[in-house]
Structure 1
């Protein structure tokens, strides 16, 4: 490359025929030679730190998996809340004044022990036994049932005791909801045999309190966590 003279370099700087890059190169060359000139070198452009601030460098596949797991967790949380409200809450929030009495003499009573199974989210099949005490009253077209999981046992002592009391009774009173008066299989909230309560209202009402609280906590925590991950700015504004 042929080196240009000092005068030629100054001519490049002062001329409008050359682009800024050429003028900068001429100015740098004069600076190297320690020769003065009237060209002001532009400071180098600063790269903004915000350029990549909001860019997610994770692969599209990773983003897809994250969205899939977040949606799955959100569905799980909402399902837990729905189960707690739909299946358990109606019993917990039932009041004695909303019940009516169905009275009569025993027609039949028996206990059924059967094996049940369920699958967890890992596909594991869990087996257990379920006891069902069912009975009916003479002249009343209803089937009353009490049901409980007994694990690996073959006998339910409490249900056996109730069945024996039913069979030796003269008068039976079953408490059910008013709105289930026409139902063929109403929920049993209390049983009185010969003016003695053998299954109390509070016992039935509170038997699933633990499951209800567990499902609500699990459902709410899962749902709130996913929403916090999706909308962190809104949560910060709420907290602050």
Structure 2
């Protein structure tokens, strides 16, 4: 397969561009691409450019070729609202959600979240998750990068989106997605933390107009539930 790279900046229509240090390091030192090898660059704004790697000493450049307008985005505008999960579970969720076509990811702090983030630590983790999203786009062929929004407490976030269309996964607390009308515009899917939602949080979701749904009689782990829900929505209304 031809390697795909996100180019963090505007790509000109033709000519040669210098590869940013991080991109060049990944291409030359990690993937060990050689001078003249084909590659694909995309800037995250839609479309991609065929290119060839040019190596001069330790620096990397790209000779730009044809630009293609390719839209691999899902017709659904799903925002995955994921309660913070511990360890590397959030990395997994971000990566796989991007592969499944999510429009954006909103991390939220829930009462039973094992992981607690604030201040500089939260900012660093957000930047890391955004880079995970970039890498997932490189792998999956997406040319638009979903945004990972800054972390917010659940209840204030619910107040800000009150009245918008959304679902909250609550094992044993509702019906499935079957029979729901295809959404017009953005739809939010809320996933609880390892310890599950509290009754107060579920009540806040109810008050915001979000409908409780279930994915059947089994209880999913937090890192599985959102991905399963995205797959269901893509099969029901999207491009699966």
What TM-score comes out, normalization by structure 1 length? 0.18
Larger helix proportion, structure 1 or 2?
A: 1
What TM-score comes out, normalization by structure 2 length? 0.18
